Amino acid sequence: MEVVQAASCQRLQVIAITDHDAVEGVPAALQAAQDSCIEVIPGVELSTEAQDSEVHILGYFIDISDPRLNHSLASLREGRLNRAHSVLAKLDSLGMPLDWDVVSAISGSGAMGRPHIAAAMLQAGYVETTQQAFTHYLGRGGAAYVPRYKISPEQAITLIRQAGGIAVLAHPWYTQHLVTYLAEAGLAGLEAYYPGYTADMSAALVRLARQHGLLVTCGSDFHGLERLPNNPLGGASMPAADFAAFLAKRPQAA
């Protein structure tokens, strides 16, 4: 798997595969890491909504075969497909028709999302960069933006815990007002170290995590440099003690 190979080049020792609303990439990553020194953490990133805010909940150390998790992921993927059809219809009305088969080929076996539509727009010559596609068309408020089916953060946390994992609030700077009630719902950690966060921002999030007895984590939120050029693989780090506390949450071998 290309991400594992890239991680090896970056001299990373541990990576987590946390695709949006999908776990299909995890087995390939685990297989690719078998003959390397890299540990792959099975994970997922669930898209949720609360109080008119989009909230992303990361799940680490999950059992990717959990039936309840996979049932919910199937529903979320169906929502993504419905949304994609609606987005393509809007783009067509704007004079930018896209072939469904082309978008499907770009998305492959994973969950179809706006990055795949953006890539198809780039391929068709409608935009010069995928970032332009999001800024003008696919992002919230864009000409072809379509909201999609989401679950609540509480539902996401429950699904992750039922699958044996721990739930972490992703890039939480703008959703930290939700931490108190999410902690009560079973949230386990905050992604306090994230590309673009200043030292003061991370320090404030660490204090918030300590206040609620939560773990501190880091994440690069790597989506490919074409999509997020400021989020390179391994582009975030955290103190060794916090990393050890996080790894201590690995499931114990039977």
Q: What is the pLDDT of residues 77-127, one digit of tens each?
A: 888 889 999 999 999 999 999 999 999 999 876 668 898 999 999 999 999
Q: Is there a single domain that holds both residue 10 and residue 117?
A: no
**What is the domain range of residue 169?**
2-73+150-247
Q: Is there a single domain that holds both residue 67 and residue 179?
A: yes
Identify whether 25 is part of a domain: yes
User: Which of these three, 91, 118, 138, is where a domain ends?
Assistant: 138
Identify whether 36 is part of a domain: yes
Identify whether 8 is part of a domain: yes
User: Which of these three, 100, 118, 138, is where a domain ends?
Assistant: 138
User: Which of these three, 138, 164, 179, is where a domain ends?
Assistant: 138
Residue 234 is predicted with a pLDDT of 79
Give the orientation angle of helix 67-93 with respect to helix 100-107, to 10 degrees: 140
Identify whether 145 is part of a domain: no
pLDDT, one tens digit per residue, over 166-200 is 999 999 999 999 999 999 999 999 999 999 999 99
Identify whether 22 is part of a domain: yes
Q: Is there a single domain that holds both residue 189 and residue 103?
A: no
pLDDT, one tens digit per residue, over 41-80 is 999 999 899 877 889 999 999 999 999 999 999 998 888 8
Q: Is there a single domain that holds both residue 14 and residue 61?
A: yes
Assess whether pLDDT exceeds 60 at residue 229.
Answer: yes
Q: Is there a single domain that holds both residue 53 and residue 89?
A: no
Residue that wins the pLDDT comparison between 69 and 225: 69
Phi, then psi, of 87 in degrees rounded to 5: -65, -45
Q: How confident is the model at residue 222 (pLDDT cuts 50, 70, 90)?
A: confident
**Which pTM was predicted?**
0.81
Identify whether 252 is part of a domain: no
Q: Is there a single domain that holds both residue 211 and residue 124?
A: no
Q: Is there a single domain that holds both residue 219 and residue 110?
A: no
Q: How confident is the model at residue 254 (pLDDT cuts 50, 70, 90)?
A: very low
Q: Is there a single domain that holds both residue 118 and residue 154?
A: no
Assess whether pLDDT exceeds 60 at residue 165.
Answer: yes
Average pLDDT for the chain: 91
Residue 80 is predicted with a pLDDT of 84
For the purposes of burial, counting CB atoms within 10 Å of the CB of 162, is it exposed (0-12), middle (13-18) or buried (19 or more)?
middle
- Residue 243 has a CB neighbour count (10 Å cut-off) of 17
Q: Is there a single domain that holds both residue 164 and residue 48?
A: yes
* Pairing outcome for strands 53-60 and 39-50: antiparallel
Classified as helix, coil or strand, 145 is coil
Classified as helix, coil or strand, 34 is coil
Q: Is there a single domain that holds both residue 169 and residue 226?
A: yes
Residue 253 is predicted with a pLDDT of 55
- 190-219: string of b/e by CB count within 10 Å (b at 16+)? bbbbbbebeeeebeebbebbeeeebbbbbb
In this structure, are residues 167 and 57 in contact, taking their beta carbons and an 8 Å threshold?
Answer: yes
Q: Assign residue 96 the CATH number of its domain.
A: 1.10.150.650
Residue that wins the pLDDT comparison between 246 and 221: 246
Q: Assign residue 8 the CATH number of its domain.
A: 3.20.20.140
Residue with the two structure tokens 């953490």: 41
Residue 150 is predicted with a pLDDT of 84
Q: Is there a single domain that holds both residue 61 and residue 161?
A: yes
Q: Is there a single domain that holds both residue 39 and residue 97?
A: no
Identify whether 35 is part of a domain: yes
Residue 102 is predicted with a pLDDT of 94
Strand partners, 55: 48
**What total number of domains does the chain contain?**
2
